[in-house]
Structure 1
Amino acid sequence: MLKWPIRRRIIALLLVVAFITIALGMTSKLFKSDEIEKVAKQLLNDMNIAYLNGDEELLKEQYDVDTLYGKWAFEYALKKMEYIKTWSEKQGIEYTDIKSDYKFTKVSGSDQAFDLTVKSIDQYDYKYKDGDTVANSYSIAVYHYMRIEMKKDKWVITKDWFSDPMSDSLGIEEEKKPEIKEYINTYQYDNYKLEGRRKDAVKYADKYSSALINNSYNDKYRNYNPVGGDCANFASQVLHEGGGFKKNSVWNYDKGGSLAWIKAYNLTHYLLNSGRGSRIAVGGYESVYQAAYKLQPGDIVAYEEKGDIKHVSVITGYDSKGYPLVNCHNVDRHRVPWDLGWNREGIKYWFVRVHY
């Protein structure tokens, strides 16, 4: 039998614990996944507004820059914003809107901090500044591996690892020349009549670009992104499934794909050496941008960096000024201007005519 003073102390302690529990319950909230998704969407949408308007302060507000990863994420996003501005000046365009659709594949955490994996389909709308009223748009799929936390009664991003082609493209300042912009803006564009195997190749490229909200990779084929990249595999699929090119002993998908099927360097040289393709031009942006207008839907653009072809994309159409657009995997693009995201110093472009 407990003595009364001891019982009184225990009761008092239990009352204190109860009051603390009630107080915490009043000041804390257990958030549901759909509520966290709304928070993440708002943060990402505010980032789009900042990108569109070049608003560095608004962009900074989305991050906790007092943490190391939060600071790194902000600096990476700031590079993207600067690139958007510089590329638009080079091109002679203005962006009119950036809008995104989101697919959340992971949401986990506590009531104050959450980790999220998000596929964001970002659509960029633009028009040329010379009075052209035609609206243009392109889409890029960006995967965010992010962490958001409640700090000072506000949700902020404390980590965001994402792959975006516009965050690491340096050297574009060299391409901002009046003669380049004038050529792009005054080019006399003739509508290209798309038909036959080229038409089928483009149809396949659009269906499986994975840069639209309702399309994805073709699950008949392995996704090579985790082991170096899926760009050549995708281009080979376009040529075979859409364009009707038959596999052979060098170029095939048997047992997971030959080097000529899955490697950008090997695919480019296979096309050139086999007679299935021929070279239109090779060189830096300033030396080849005019030759780009010779590219036809279904042709290939390869991107060389430090002596190695590291990426390939497929021409799928043109914008209102006849500027060629591409589809590709990693980073997944749908009808994106052919050089966007590839303006780093030292890049060489290979334009390959495919003989359908």
Structure 2
Amino acid sequence: MKQFTRKMYICAAAGIIFAATLFFPLPGAKAEPDKHEIEAELNEMFKARAEALIHPYPESINKYYLPEKASQMALQHEHLREEYVNKWAEKRALKLTSSESSIRIIRQSIVEDKARISLVQSHKVGYVYINKVMQEQVFGVGTRHFLTLKKSEGRWKIAREWYLDPLDENPAKIADGPEGIAPAVRAKSEPTDGQKYKRKRAVHYANKYAGAAWGAGNKHHYNKKYLDYTGKGGDCTNFASQVIGDPEEGGGLNMAGGWRYFQNSGGTQTWVQTDAFSNYLTRSGYGTLIAKGDYHHIVTPSQKYPGGAISQLQAGDLIGYILRHNDTDHFSVVVGFDDYGYPLVNSHTADRYRVPFDLGWDRDTKYQLFHIKD
């Protein structure tokens, strides 16, 4: 729990209240009319927004929004998102090459010219390294959207929207690398199981249960054995605990001390809460804190780590993210490295599948690099 970004902290309470109202039908809601029309228009909207990530021309998506304040705020978020992702790519000497979206409508309630929609988006993004001869690399994100649509000039348009965005950050605050390029920190290799920690199984678990993110398995569903803590502050730590501790499919570390999950009541504080889990990893002896610091600190070569501290991570290790007050706010699972050697992570809330580890974060973020002992 506790992994909302700065913007998420500001809008989370209002957003959750707004989102909750969408699960209840509007008074006098129609059963079927307009549903197919709305689905077609939503598919068009989300396809256009995905394409705008590669070709960020404002006019390409402006037509899907109303001139009202709430609608224009939602539009501004999309433009800032486009700017952030493209500036991040520039800082890492990358070029975005493809962006594809699919949506699944969960609920919709329609009355006359107004509709409330909840849907899940799976988004696939491709990139290549500039001046490097290698194939396109791909990652996936998954988001849950709550929208109010209004019909205007014969088209359904976005009146307001709320979602937890894994690519939401300030374009002006992207961290610089030591050489202005993404560091190639580790060659690709297959994880292997140790005596205590089944690292290969842990990575497989992280990929299978990465939720709504494009590329995830299990038909984009979480593991139903575990409660979903998304509505209780976030599910990232619950997911990280599952990855390293699930006895059947995950890493199989023994549940011990206060780090446990009970089928009837859920996880203990150490299992689901970021700071408690962070402290437990080192206190229990299950993990070693390789390094802690901002982006520049962990990627810069040193006498101790000639490839930078981040080069010591292996698939199946964990990264904690600190936003403020030295408290851990998020956890992700290292699931491998792209063809260039850049670390890729999976996480919940929002869902990520093989995403570059620092995408969606800024220069003020501090990273905790945890190696899980085999």
TM over 0.5: yes
Paired residue for 1:133?
Answer: 134
SS in 1 for 2:180: helix
Q: Distance in 1 between matches of 2:93 and 2:63?
A: 30
- In the other structure, the counterpart of 1:75 is 76
Give how far 1:177 is off.
5.3
- Pairs within 5 Å for 1:40-119: 40-64=42-66, 66-119=67-120
For the residue of structure 1 that corresponds to 2:191, the secondary structure is: coil
TM-superposed CA distance for 1:156, in Å, is 2.0
Is contact 1:87-1:172 (8 Å) kept? no
Q: Map 1:134-213 to 2 at 5 A.
A: 134-169=135-170, 172-173=173-174, 175-176=175-176, 179-181=179-181, 184=183, 187=184, 189-196=186-193, 197-210=198-211, 211-212=213-214
Residue 332 (structure 1) aligned with residue 354 (structure 2): no
Instruction: Provide the C-alpha distance between the structure 2 equivalents of 1:190 and 1:225, rounded to a whole number of angstroms.
Output: 34
Q: Helix, strand or coil for the counterpart of 1:280?
A: strand
1:292 Cα offset (Å): 1.8
Evaluate the alpha carbon distance shift between residue 163 and residue 321 of structure 1 in structure 2; reply closer, same or farther with a 3 A threshold.
same
Report the TM-score when normalising by structure 2. 0.82
State percent identity of aligned pairs. Answer: 30
Separation in 2, partners of 1:34, 1:203: 37
- Number of aligned positions between the proteins: 321
1:111 shift after superposition: 4.4
Alpha-carbon RMSD across the aligned residues, in angstroms, is 1.8
AA of the residue aligned to 2:258: V
Greater Rg by CA: 1
Match of 2:226 among 206, 221, 228: 221
Assess, with a 3 A threshold, how the Cα gap between structure 1 residues 230 and 144 changes in structure 2: closer, same or farther. same
CA distance in structure 1 between the partners assigned to 2:162 and 2:205 by the alignment = 30
Counterpart of 1:248 (choices 249, 252, 256) is 256
Equivalent of residue 323 in structure 1, options 315, 337, 342: 342
Q: Distance in 2 between matches of 1:205 and 1:178?
A: 30
Structure 2 unmatched ranges of 5 or more: 1-31, 300-307
Q: Which amino acid aligns with 1:283?
A: G
> Cα distance 1:224–1:168, how it changes in 2: closer, same or farther (>3 A)?
same
| Cα 1:281/1:180, change in 2 over 3 Å | farther
Provide TM-score, normalisation by structure 1. Answer: 0.86
Q: Which one has more relative contact order, counting CA pairs under 8 Å at least 6 apart?
A: 2
Cα deviation for residue 191 of structure 1 reads 3.0
Cα displacement (A) at 1:131 = 3.3
Partner Cα distance (2:289, 2:228) in 1: 28
Q: 2:315 aligns with which of 297, 300, 303?
A: 297
Q: Quote the Cα distance in structure 1 between the aligned partners of 2:185 and 2:371.
A: 21
Deviations 1:129-175 (A, max 9, x none): 113231111111111111222212333211111211222345534x2
**Is the 1:86–1:172 Cα contact (8 Å) retained in structure 2?**
no
Q: Which amino acid aligns with 2:187?
A: D
Does the Cα contact within 8 Å between 1:189 and 1:322 map onto a contact in 2?
A: yes
* Separation in 2, partners of 1:237, 1:165: 21
Residue 34 of structure 1 and its aligned partner are, at CA, apart by 2.3
Q: By percentage of residues, which structure has more helix?
A: 1
